Homo-oligomer: A and B are copies of this chain.
Amino acid sequence: MSAIPSNVVIREVGLRDGLQSIQTIVPTSRKLQWIREAHAAGQTEIEVGSFVPARSLPQLADTAELVAYAKALPGLFTSVLVPNLKGAEKAIEAQADLLLVPLSASHAHSLANLRKTPDDVVAEVARIRAARDAAGSKTLIEGGIGTAFGCTLQGEVRPADVLRCMQALLDAGCDRVSIADTVGYADPCRVRELFARARDIAGERFWCGHFHDTRGLALANVCAALEVGVNRFDATLAGIGGCPHAPGASGNAATEDLAFMLESMGMGTGLDIERLLALRAQVAGWLEGETLHGTLWRAGLPKTFEPAAAAAA
């Protein structure tokens, strides 16, 4: 309980983790508008897309253009997901601030989803690190460990395996590591335990928690992670996204609900929640017919709500 952060960063991953599992193709112009409005609402870190073959994810084919646009917005830290060296080369070329390489701690999920073992991914990270260094690039490399609390294919994933992957990723040259509950298997007790051990291993290089809300525990899990000092979380506007193995289930933690919780708890996020809600309404219009999530948009901010910065002043 010693290290509850006073400021927390919400990294917006709606344009990547959100849109990749949504049918509606959002035109690039609207994505640019989303990035612009999110930045205006105070978002300082956005994962804008993924450098994967366009044929596998046509929804994200405009990632290079989005990176270029986002990088030009003042103070916006722009990240992308890459599945392999080829994607990483594109991220480096685009001068993304950070590239995230997903690794699945579940051997079965890793083979099914990435067609690689966790060790193969670690080896690929080493190649990515070499390429980054050879290019003299400043793009940071994050290893994102998914299915860290279990997996719908394999079932149990042991904390020791997650931490072994984390150490291997750091050894292979990751600048940052993060942990994701890809399928909503985590609970606050296990989050507290695993994240505390992860912080012990990676220190400040432990970068981010990523919680799906498949079983409604995303915000409770964030609270548990806050208690061990984690101060950066992925979230998606309107909670879009999800897991193909749990159809209809809730997606990610909703950015606007998470921001509300953190600000209510006195933790500064730098976010203007009313602006986020306005953006949410706009995005909801673009995604008509898709399943959206979150609760704050319906209820609105409490009459008594004060942003953390105002409360501290």
Binding site for B on A (CB under 8 A): 1, 150-152, 155-156, 183-185, 187-190, 213-217, 219-220, 222-224, 246, 248-250, 254, 257, 260-261, 264-266, 294-296, 298-300, 302-304
Contact of A295 among B150, B249, B264 (CB under 8 A): B249
User: Closest Cβ of chain B: how far from A10's Cβ, in Å?
Assistant: 14
Q: List 24 A-B contacts (CB under 8 A).
A: A151-B303, A152-B303, A155-B304, A185-B302, A187-B264, A188-B261, A189-B264, A189-B265, A189-B266, A213-B295, A214-B299, A215-B257, A215-B299, A216-B295, A217-B219, A217-B257, A220-B220, A220-B222, A223-B223, A246-B298, A246-B299, A249-B299, A250-B295, A250-B299
User: Closest Cβ of chain B: how far from A187's Cβ, in Å?
Assistant: 4
Contact of A215 among B187, B189, B190, B296 (CB under 8 A): B296
User: Closest Cβ of chain B: how far from A68's Cβ, in Å?
Assistant: 35
User: Closest Cβ of chain B: how far from A34's Cβ, in Å?
Assistant: 22
* CB-based nearest B residue for A4: B189
Complex Cα–Cα for A187 and B185 (A): 23
Residues of chain B within 8 A (CB-CB) of A156 are 304
Q: Given A150-B303, A213-B295, A220-B220, are A261 and B187 neighbors across the interface (CB < 8 Å)?
A: yes
Residues of chain B within 8 A (CB-CB) of A185 are 302, 304
Complex Cα–Cα for A304 and B185 (A): 8
- Are the CB atoms of B150 and A302 closer together than 8 Å? yes
Residues of chain B within 8 A (CB-CB) of A219 are 216-217, 219-220
- Are the CB atoms of A299 and B187 closer together than 8 Å? no
Number of copies: 2
- Are the CB atoms of A215 and B260 closer together than 8 Å? yes
- Are the CB atoms of B215 and A248 closer together than 8 Å? no
User: Closest Cβ of chain B: how far from A265's Cβ, in Å?
Assistant: 4
Residues of chain B within 8 A (CB-CB) of A246 are 298-300
Residues of chain B within 8 A (CB-CB) of A294 are 216
* CB-based nearest B residue for A212: B299
- Are the CB atoms of B184 and A299 closer together than 8 Å? yes
* CB-based nearest B residue for A267: B189
- Are the CB atoms of A150 and B216 closer together than 8 Å? no
Contact of A155 among B217, B224, B300, B303 (CB under 8 A): B303
* CB-based nearest B residue for A301: B215
* CB-based nearest B residue for A226: B188
User: Closest Cβ of chain B: how far from A212's Cβ, in Å?
Assistant: 10
User: What 8 additional pairs, Cβ within 8 angstroms, besides A216-B296, A249-B298?
Assistant: A185-B302, A187-B264, A187-B265, A188-B265, A220-B261, A246-B300, A248-B299, A250-B299
Contact of A261 among B151, B217, B261, B265 (CB under 8 A): B217
Residues of chain B within 8 A (CB-CB) of A187 are 261, 264-265
